[in-house]
A and B are shown apart, each in its own frame.
Chain A
Amino acid sequence: GENVEQHPSTLSVQEGDSAVIKCTYSDSASNYFPWYKQELGKGPQLIIDIRSNVGEKKDQRIAVTLNKTAKHFSLHITETQPEDSAVYFCAASGGGGADGLTFGKGTHLIIQP
């Protein structure tokens, strides 16, 4: 089955700087890669996703890049703000099984004022 590794587990950046979170996946047939943001005591919220026919996708301060050859994808947040502090999860799916999403273990992003 699919295996997703996510790094780093904790990331601290100064407000206004950029943050990058990286994930690798094992199943070369996977073709859908969402990113979720989870605030304390809440469920994960989808912030951006990318499919394997696209190399990069942007939405305001958030972007995701995908390298199918290397089987890794990354989340980029620019001009970070205090409200960006949360736990971020990457996920992968679509490798032909019916199991739904396989999640990474999460990155706790801390924005320092």
Chain B
Amino acid sequence: DGGITQSPKYLFRKEGQNVTLSCEQNLNHDAMYWYRQDPGQGLRLIYYSQIVNDFQKGDIAEGYSVSREKKESFPLTVTSAQKNPTAFYLCASSIMGSRQGTGLGNQPQHFGDGTRLSIL
């Protein structure tokens, strides 16, 4: 079954600690995304990547870092600089938009089942 796998499902962070959330996809998608979801809020974009070894900041990138060394994998690190890390983190992937200027976001995004991060 093709899909997106996020792990772990629950994660706890201590003060001053960096933690890394895993996201793996076997859909052969070029684009991958990380979103943050807070209670009663929509999804806010943290980082996205259109291709291996390249990624761009989204709306709320401060305190987060990513890497894209493989097409299938897009891990997110929540650093100690992120002062309010408690949230539900969602990873998504999509094929690229067409060449005719339709943009990255014009394709359906497929989501994993999230990682819930809490502070100890």
Where the two chains meet, the residues of A that have a C-beta atom closer than 8 Å to any C-beta of B are 4, 6, 9, 31-32, 34, 36, 41-46, 49, 51, 89, 93-101, 103-106
Contacts and interface: CB of A to CB of B under 8 A. Distances in A.
A46 B104 contact: no
A44 B108 contact: no
B42 A103 contact: yes
User: How many residues of B sit at the interface, in one of the four size bands?
Assistant: 20 to 34
Interface in B94-120: 97, 101-114
B42 A89 contact: yes
Given A34-B109, A44-B90, A103-B44, 6 more contacts: A32-B102, A32-B106, A36-B111, A89-B43, A101-B105, A104-B42
A45 B43 contact: no
B108 A46 contact: yes
Contact of A43 (B41, B48, B107, B113): B113
A98 B44 CA distance: 14
Nearest to B107: A32
B48 A99 contact: yes
Contacts of B101: 96
Contacts of A46: 108-110
B84 to A, nearest CB: 18
Contacts of B8: none
A6 B113 CA distance: 23
A33 to B, nearest CB: 10
